[in-house]
Amino acid sequence: MPMICLSDFEAYAKKHLPKMTWDFFAAGADECCTRDDNLLAYKRIRFRPRMLRDMSVMDTRTALLGTEISFPVGIAPTGFHQLACPDGEKSTARAAEAMNTCYITSTFATCTVEEIAAAAPNGFRWLQLYVHCNRVLTEALVRRAEAVGFQGVVLTVDVPYTGKRRDDVRNSFQLPSHMAVKNFEGVFEKENCIEYGLPPNSIDPSLSWNDISWLQSLTRLPIIIKGILTKEDADLAVRHGVKGIIVSNHGGRQLDGAPATIDALIEIVDTVQDKAEVYLDGGIRTGSDVLKALALGAKCVFIGRPALWGLTYKGEEGLRKVLQILLDEFRLSMALAGCHNVSEIGRHLVQFSKL
């Protein structure tokens, strides 16, 4: 079957992955309202395309905190890539390097930060960070990532506790015995690692805004925070000196009933203005979705589940194909909307449907 759009990769992954793995990747919290609305929200946005603009020359490049990428789509942090392909995050890193874009590596990777850096030595990577209750483990991981060339730290702030994902509960989801959260390998050997490869309640629920300065004290790398959905928290983030904000609801896996990320984006962009860069994840499935997100103020978007579908299809090659399809669709959408480069993409380009 020819793979011509991201839904083709989704269908392939659903057919070929073990049910427990598919359910884990696909899961949303509770009734999955937020997960599903992440996709539906894009369908409520319409373009206002401009014509006769001489689209013979175009440029999809942008930059994240000063580092150029080939187009404004990166790879969001998701855990356990060896569930999708044998080389796991090493394949992900190679695909991102080949496509010249940013890969946010999960704390819950099935390869170490050192292995990931060695697999794609010229890649552009940020480390996604969960703060462990044992802060010494977190401090060591940040320093390890900085030492091997990671260029930013993405602090996830929407998981004081793990959301209730019903299929994972029904399936009693656990990592296969031959996989591990490799960045902490050997640390928890005498403990019962029943929650996503770690002991229960490993993530520190006491994390607060006061801890941003603690994290800043550990590293010279820029701090980006992931999981912001309101203008109030966006304002606090800027006041605490973060360099970037990822508008995210964790793919609908945390608080069910939280807004779709594209719906939350506008108030955050208006609050932050130029004091930090604003990115978005959740619900991106087409190049026109990317264009809509940029029109509403995102600097870049990040894909989560589609990256896992690409890895399932053909590892690094499959993920490169997913990214290439998004690049091609984004470029075509830009052309049909009359935008020569990303700086011409703005709110004038879209309107909200009454549907």
Catalytic residue (one of 16, 81, 240, 250) = 250
CA distance 170 to 157: 26
Query: Where are the strands (E) in the chain, listed by range?
Result: 45-47, 62-64, 67-69, 73-75, 102-105, 124-129, 153-156, 223-228, 244-247, 277-281, 300-303, 350-352
Contacts of residue 175, Cβ cutoff 8 Å, sequence gap at least 6: 80, 83, 110, 181, 193, 196, 197
Report CA Rg, the chain.
19
**Cα(146)–Cα(141) distance, rounded to whole angstroms?**
9
Task: Estimate to the nearest angstrom the gap between the alpha carbon of 209 and the chain centroid.
Answer: 22
Sign of the alpha-carbon dihedral angle for 196, 200, 203, 207: positive
Taking the C-alpha atoms of residue 139 and residue 4, their distance in angstroms, rounded to an integer, is 43
Nearest to 102 by CA among 73, 65, 130, 80: 73
Nearest to residue 162, comparing CAs of 108, 115, 122, 123? 108
Q: Identify which of 172, 167, 169, 176 has the alpha carbon closest to the alpha carbon of residue 197.
A: 176
Q: How many CB atoms lie within 10 A of CB 187?
A: 17
The verdict on whether 250 is a catalytic residue reads yes
**222 contacts: CB under 8 Å, gap ≥ 6:** 65, 151, 152, 153, 242, 243, 244
Active-site amino acid positions: 250
